[in-house]
Structure 1
């Protein structure tokens, strides 16, 4: 039996193409920049938009907006009311009293200068009543300067004028003492010192006192304007809050047929009370402060000017006899006589203006008395001037300052210009007191109208906010 040859079988033929490589695992995607995060405002807007698509969401938005609005109304009202109250309080308790003190400083200095000249003319020894008047005036001016300095910034205009007065007043009193010393010795050098003291008073001290009075009067006007400024922002917010609450209640009625929502009704009532309180208080305050300015401060300024001019005229009248023509002006006329005439003319104009501003018989009566006394003063001065020009110095002196009594301690001033001056000054003092009382009454009423408004605004705003939250919460509870 023949066996087949032992031959290894041929391998199968290779395919025409190489088998495909096994697939590679998919590569991981490359990391790119993270998606941009939306801004907080955009996210908030999106959430609100989503919430607004449902009635509960809309109610929450409405409640938050109304609560924020009434709180803003109360906060702004409290702030503006506090600001107006502070300004009105400054009018009553700071700027107006300082204005009065400044006027009294001027009056005291001018009156001291007048008393010094009168005492010099009376001769040595000076009458005790004239010395007392001079010392009282200087003490009063010094005390008022201390008071004014404690309430005034040293860098302000008032502070600078107070510093000028504090520096010049000791110099003035020193010159007066020198004049008195020489006058007691019968030396004519005393007249020169008196004129020098008067120049210091006229050229430095009185102008500084006048600037101080003007600065304090301007500050009073500024405080008065601030107190009368209408609170526009709080009024607008109040009207907006009232309108929003009314709209919310009407919306609630249209959707539920419920007439009242107690929470929103309470919020509306609280907002309405606050809005009406704000309007009424500011209206009353403005009216009272306007009256204080028109019927009080305007008259006070004119009357103070009149009193100042009367004091200037009296001092120049006395110095006319002291200098006796030794001091001339640019026109080669007696300086003091010319200044006396100018002062009397200004006094008459001021009294005429004061009479126009007086709004009742109580205010007009002292002004009319002052006008009559000024006319009498002019007539007596004409007689004194005539005697002086005729060389009768003794008669002229008696017609200006009067004569000493038997003791030599005081002066009789009957039928003298000094008596007329005292009548003018007394009438003006009474008129100033009446106008000051009227100012205080009106200004205090204006301050009282604003009292408690700031605290009340905070309390009513809190009630309105709580009422809004409870009212909206009541509606939200219906969806649970």
Structure 2
């Protein structure tokens, strides 16, 4: 057997590559590899989108909901604690039950958030909330015990508890909510975004089939190669499949300002602002001093609440009407307080009357809660629909590209045999 040096082999390969058989061999090898690589990339891209859909529905969105529920539950607990304090002595069972339910909801949401805390920043936020929550409840119980005995120091303990809530617990819950909502938006973009790498490879395969057909025309004088036509057709079908799936997935999720993603964020923020304003409203009576500072806080929160509702609801929505009614009740409460009629102001704040601030606030909070539940269900349906658009794309495009690779090999093999 004749031995050839590496340089001789290289020169022989270059000479062979310049011949028509060499070109055909290179085309077959390159075309088959390109089709198989493109098929694998397409399958991976499509599978990644269905996987992100599943992750969004099973992990990301539930954690975002838990973070939002944690914030609302903490705000509700603070507002209920202030309402219970205003009751004086032993508060009513309904007010006490509201406070305890809010704490139970916060504990449940915190446990869910802790179970899904995979990154260090999230774990740190959850740990701070978990550490501050017992301290808050301890201060509230101390305030409650002193209030039962008629001791003025109870109000100081309640203000300290509310300060801990406003300065630590709620800001940390807000950061957690922002992180989880950002993760939901990232999953939506991953499911609906165009798979650019796969699309570019498919276009290159189609362009390569056209270029090879021109080369064969010059070298073999054959205008049509059925194998290349079949390969180009399969690649075109795969490209159309991906384009249609991308369009359908993008249309499935409404990313407009009034879509469920933005609407859910606005409704969540509205409910949080309402709870904060309710706390301001009750603390105003607990201090029994100049209401200017607390009134400024209440006005700032309700102004933001009104603007948020403008973005999240229609002009004739029940929530806007209930906000107007609540604000009217608050003005009546403030007028009575400024007139030194504290019992009447107290009754307006926490009474059971149909026009009381407590009743109006409850109506508003119920509307916001129901709106959030409906928006969440709509968001989950849209994410599920976006993922369904990619159903079958992974195996389908892989089969098409394997067929394309087979078509290239089968179409060029007879031409290659002519030179053997």
The DSSP-based 3-state class of the residue aligned with 2:259 is helix
Post-superposition offset of 1:110: 0.4
Post-superposition offset of 1:317: 0.7
- Pair 1:49 & 2:11 matched: no
Post-superposition offset of 1:247: 4.2
Distance 2:42 2:119 in 1: 34
1:295/1:438 contact within 8 Å kept: no
Distance 1:56 1:348 in 2: 76
Deviations 1:136-183 (A, max 9, x none): 111111111111112123512x22211110000011111111122222
1:70/1:464 contact within 8 Å kept: yes
Deviations 1:252-303 (A, max 9, x none): 5774657552x43433332222111111112222232354786111111111
Distance 1:399 1:119 in 2: 14
- Pair 1:386 & 2:344 matched: no
Partner of 1:214: 178
- Pair 1:280 & 2:244 matched: yes
2:188/2:383 contact within 8 Å kept: no
Post-superposition offset of 1:81: 2.7
Distance 2:320 2:412 in 1: 72
Question: Which residue, 361, 365, 387 being the options, matches 1:421?
Answer: 361
Deviations 1:184-233 (A, max 9, x none): 22222222221111111111111111111112222223333333432222
Partner of 1:471: 411
The DSSP-based 3-state class of the residue aligned with 2:185 is helix
Distance 1:123 1:314 in 2: 18
Question: Which residue, 192, 203, 214 being the options, matches 1:239?
Answer: 203
Partner of 2:105: 140
Deviations 1:373-417 (A, max 9, x none): 222222221221122222221111111110xxxxxxxxx242201
| Pair 1:44–1:456, CA change in 2 (3 A) | farther
Q: Which structure 2 residue ranges, 5 or more long, are not aligned?
A: none
- Which of the pair has more CA radius of gyration? 1
Question: Which residue, 439, 442, 453 being the options, matches 2:393?
Answer: 453
The DSSP-based 3-state class of the residue aligned with 2:253 is helix
Pairs aligned (count): 416
- Pair 1:432 & 2:372 matched: yes
1:292/1:439 contact within 8 Å kept: no
The TM-score, its normalising length taken from structure 2, stands at 0.90
Partner of 1:117: 82
Q: Which structure 1 residue ranges, 5 or more long, are not aligned?
A: 1-35, 359-363, 403-411
Alignment of 1:144-293 (within 5 A): 144-156=109-121, 158-249=122-213, 255=220, 259=224, 261=226, 263-291=227-255
Distance 1:288 1:154 in 2: 30
Distance 2:144 2:17 in 1: 94
Distance 2:258 2:241 in 1: 25
Distance 1:353 1:238 in 2: 42
1:292/1:440 contact within 8 Å kept: no
Alignment of 1:344-355 (within 5 A): 344-355=302-313
C-alpha RMSD of matched pairs (Å): 2.5
Distance 1:413 1:202 in 2: 29
- Pair 1:92 & 2:64 matched: no
- Pair 1:103 & 2:73 matched: no
